[in-house]
Structures are given as structure tokens and as C-alpha cells.
Amino acid sequence: MADKAASPNGSYNDNGFEFFKGLVEPDTINALLNMTEQVAGNSPSTFRGIIRKSTLTNKLIYVLQGTNFVPLDTFHWGLTPFISRVVGKPVLPAYSNFRIYQQGDVCKIHSDRVASEHGISLMIGSSDNKPWGLSVGHEFIEDPMNWRGTGKVKTACDDFGDEPFSTFEMYPGDAVLYQAINRRHGRLEPNPNRWTAHLFMFWVDRNGPRKDQAFDKKRHPASANYTF
């Protein structure tokens, strides 16, 4: 059973998603965003990650993998006890990435890859402080590769079709936790800000069928050793 203090609405396990208003305070996300900007760049000529258009977006996005910038990975790992309390069982971090979306872009409705059992979308900055909604579907998709038994993948859609969904208007510091493999999600309305910055972080159940996806399948040594 999820800890109600960790899960203010107590709804994650019931609904498959939960909104956390102001999960991270402004000073901390400002520090993280500014550190990322200084180290990884902020323009096409300076950015050290990838600038690409994905199948889910209409415009170019900046993408930086957590494994390529240790502070992002470390922030992700630090949230793990909180996620375990909300989920009600131990989880391990899988992977994370940082993205910048530009004005007018959307994120088409989709579900995430197998390492994404529990995912958080955390907004860590925006140019204009205008809310941008993240929507999550109400239908539990047992097998994303076989949507409603059709044998088809229902992804990169412009809308939810006949599926009910909830939309959470997000400002910097706000987060949505969702079952990212089994709940379709996306941003239906164009981004009203000149840019927004986001951290996407994913976990798997420590003792579940996807536990091999922990740490993005990278094995860490069992123990450290120091000598003088």
C-alpha cells in the first residue's frame, strides 16, 4: 500500500498516474537547469547532446541522456526512495533524459519502452511560465504491442480517440508520475512558451519482471574499494 504522505492523492496505484504540484522547489530546479545549461550548452552550435525531431514531435528538440551528464542521473537516483513510497514497493532507477521543447510543439500520444515501468515527467523550467498540459489515458494497456487485441501498436497518435484521459497543467516544479509502459500519454496542445525544460525519469520494480532494466542494463560493480 502506498504511503499517503508520499502520495498526497493516494491515487497512483488506483489510477496508474498521479500529479504532484510543486514536487521540487524552484531554487533546486533553477540550480539544476542552470548547471545543465552551462555544461551542456543552450544553442544549436553549443549543445552537447542531440538535437533532433522525434516521431512524437513536430519540431526539433534538445535531448541529453542522464548517463551523459552525471548530475541528471544523480538527481534521478535521489528520487528513488520517494518513488518506492508512492508505488508501495521497492523500485530501482532505469534511465533518464533531459529535453527542451520549443514553442508550438506537441508530444503525440504514445507509450514508453520496456524500461519505463514508472515514469516521472518533471518540468524544470520555462521561458514564459505559461502552463503546458500533460495528458494521461485512463485505459490500462496490458500489451502496448497488441492494443485492444488488434495486434497493432497504437502510438504517435494525434489524440486519445475514444479513450478517456486526464490533463495536468504544468508549471516548473510540477511532476506527473505515470505507468509509462501501460498508460498512453502526451501533450495535445502546442507549447505556449518559447521553450520549456523537462526531466524524464524512469524506474522498474526491484523484484519485478523488468528488474534487468535497472540502471539501463548497465551492470555496476558489486562493491567499491579504496586504498591508501
Which residues of the chain form contacts with Fe ion (CB under 5 A)? 112
Written as one letter, the residue type at 184 is: R
Of the pair 112, 117, the CB lying nearest Fe ion is at 112
CB of 130 to Fe ion, least distance (A): 22
For residue 20, which phi and psi values (nearest 5 degrees)?
-120, 100
Of 39 and 153, the one with the shorter C-beta distance to Fe ion is: 153
Shorter beta-carbon distance to Fe ion: residue 137 or 172: 137
Q: Which distant-in-sequence residues (6+ apart) come within 8 Å of 155 by Cβ?
A: 108, 109, 110, 111, 144, 184
Taking the complex as a whole, the smallest distance from the CB of residue 42 to Fe ion amounts, in Å, to 24
| Rounded distance between C-alpha atoms, residue 73 and residue 121, angstroms | 14
**CB of residue 19 vs Fe ion: minimum separation in angstroms?**
16
Q: How far is the CB of 180 from Fe ion (least distance, A)?
A: 6
| Burial state string for 44-62 with b = 16 or more CB within 10 A and e = fewer than 16 | eeebebeeeebebbeebbb
Residue nearest to Fe ion (CB): 112
Q: Please, which residue, 112 or 174, has the CB nearer to Fe ion? A: 112
CB of 99 to Fe ion, least distance (A): 11
Q: Which is nearer to Fe ion, 38 or 55 (CB)?
A: 55
Long-range CB contact pairs, 212-219, < 8 A, 24+: 213/94, 213/114, 213/115, 213/117, 214/92, 214/93, 214/94, 215/92, 215/93, 215/94, 216/67, 216/94, 216/95, 216/115, 217/115, 218/67
